[in-house]
Amino acid sequence: MKKREHVTAFLGKGTELEGRLSFHGTTRIDGHFKGEISSDGTLIVSEEAMIEATIHTSNIVIYGGIHGDVTADNRVEIHAPSKVFGNIQAPTVVVDEGVILEGMTRVFQPKKSGETESAGIVSDDYVTSPSSTLTTLYGIITDQETGSPIKNATVNCNGVGKRKTETNASGFYELGNLRDGTWELKIKAKGYKKGRAEVEILGERRYEQNLELAPKKKK
């Protein structure tokens, strides 16, 4: 993709892209991106977005989900209902109440002439919600035939307890506070056959389970 100045939209809702993204100006992601992002501009991650990438940009404003490390030369803003799983580094980091941030946060001063290292504050495992969310199960539900994400699918998870959630516009779901043991996923979505999967939870970390649902045959 050719670089463009002052881009206001890059990836729309319900779309997916994997690879390396480099841009100038301002770019907004509303869909699912996986890979690597680098920029000297501003990245806006909308509430419906899901990004699985290493990010290095000048500024980033987050409202959605990110799985990956984020480095900003100027500023990081994380607004509710964001869920960020990765390390954050920037001179300025602003975090709203209600967000989930799991990882190391490093707030540093920009280097001055002649400095070889930047001064900073390091915070390990900074979490704005209860630490029980450190064990999470997440994934993307898609159409088996088209590969398109399925929104508003009901995700039931039964094991050492019960959990329930719904997918967003990018087909993304996430369940937190899971104890060790075998958990069974049951997925229901209008117009699709039910989906099932088993996930073994052993230790505090993130577990990924993607599922494809087969469309029901029209009578």
| 137 shares a domain with 121 | no
Asked if residue 4 is part of any domain, the answer here is no
Specify the 3-state DSSP secondary structure of 34: strand
Q: What is the CATH number of the domain that holds 163?
A: 2.60.40.10
Question: What HEC string does 52-96 produce?
Answer: EEEEEEEEEEECCEEECCEEEEEEEEECCCCEEECCEEECEEEEC
Contacts of 211 (CB under 8 A, 6+ apart): 139, 141, 142, 185, 187, 195, 197
| 175 shares a domain with 114 | no
End residue of a domain, out of 97, 129, 161: 129
Asked if residue 70 is part of any domain, the answer here is yes
Can you name the residues that pair with 16 across neighbouring β-strands?
A: 32
Query: What average pLDDT does the segment 28-51 reach?
Result: 90
Q: How far apart are CA 108 and CA 117, in angstroms?
A: 10
0.75 cut: is pTM over it?
no
pLDDT 10s digits, 82-92? 989 888 999 88
